[in-house]
């Protein structure tokens, strides 16, 4: 488990550098019901993210069960995710990365829940590290219960970072909005510069691990 944690932490750091979700949370924090809406948005995103991880895991395991060497499919998927991440690096560097669009209708808790759930698809390039994390968990071969636990802990760690927004609203009330907007600007600027390189490093590492496996298991 310690070895898995060491592999998942760098992926988590790349994963939470998500300007899309943070911008949406800041927008929800500035609505008529900032606390309820921001929590609803974060919970919606977390539920969808965790469910997507389970579905991806199930799909990979089903494919692996039909093959003679289940580990091979895990490395193959890791390699594909790695290559896609490298492609995303060049995509973002050309200035064509996805940006969060602020809703132009009144926010309600249910709408925020739906926006949070679909935010994964608004910023799909930023969700690719998550697929890499799922692949690492599958490669650890922990069994179903422990794999779900590891995936749940990863998602909890991811959500805790973004819980800064609703927690700030709880503690500071209306005074949280100017601070959150400043943090959002800083995060966007940092992500614009740092995130592409983190994605490149993560993608190169996943692709290397995949290539090394197949070259040494011929």
Cβ partners under 8 Å of residue 117, min gap 6 = 44, 45, 47, 48
Q: Is the pLDDT of residue 48 over 50?
A: yes
Distance CA 95, CA 138 (A): 34
For residue 175, what are the contacts with CB-CB under 8 A and spacing of at least 6? none
Lowest mean pLDDT segment, chosen from 51-60, 72-81, 118-127, 191-200: 118-127
Instruction: Give 57-104 pLDDT, tens digit per residue.
Output: 777 666 555 555 556 777 777 777 778 777 767 765 665 444 445 555
**Mean pLDDT (whole number) for 150-169:** 91
Q: Name every residue whose Cβ is closer than 8 Å to that of residue 80 and which is 6 or more positions away in sequence.
A: 210
Position 65 scores a pLDDT of 59
pLDDT in the model for residue 153: 93
What number of other Cβ atoms are within 10 A of residue 30's Cβ? 18
In angstroms, the CA 75 to CA 38 distance is: 37
pTM: 0.72
Q: Is the pLDDT of residue 204 over 70?
A: yes
Percent of the chain exceeding pLDDT 90 equals 8
What's the confidence (pLDDT) of residue 158? 92
Confidence (pLDDT) at 63:
58
**Residues with Cβ within 8 Å of residue 89, at least 6 apart in sequence:** 196, 197, 199, 200, 203
Q: Is the pLDDT of residue 148 over 80?
A: yes
**pLDDT at res. 99:** 47
């Amino acid at each position: 488990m310690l070895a898995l944690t060491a592999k998942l932490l760098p992926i988590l750091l790349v994963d939470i550098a998500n300007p899309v979700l943070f911008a949406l949370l800041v927008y929800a924090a500035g609505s008529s019901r900032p606390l309820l809406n921001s929590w609803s948005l974060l919970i919606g995103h977390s539920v969808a993210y965790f469910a997507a991880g389970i579905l991806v895991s199930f799909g990979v395991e089903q494919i692996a069960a039909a093959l003679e060497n289940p580990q091979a499919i895990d490395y193959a998927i890791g390699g594909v995710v790695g290559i896609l991440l490298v492609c995303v690096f060049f995509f973002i560097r050309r200035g064509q990365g996805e940006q969060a669009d602020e809703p132009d209708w009144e926010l309600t808790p249910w709408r925020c829940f739906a926006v949070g759930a679909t935010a994964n698809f608004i910023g799909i390039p930023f969700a690719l590290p998550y697929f890499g994390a799922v692949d690492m968990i599958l490669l650890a071969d922990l069994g179903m219960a422990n794999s779900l636990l590891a995936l749940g802990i990863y998602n909890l760690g991811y959500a805790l970072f973004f819980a800064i927004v609703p927690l700030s609203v709880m503690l500071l009330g209306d005074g949280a909005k100017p601070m959150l907007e400043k943090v959002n600007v800083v995060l966007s600027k940092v992500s614009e510069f740092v995130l592409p390189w983190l994605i490149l490093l993560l993608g190169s590492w996943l692709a290397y691990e995949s290539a090394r496996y197949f070259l040494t298991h011929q």
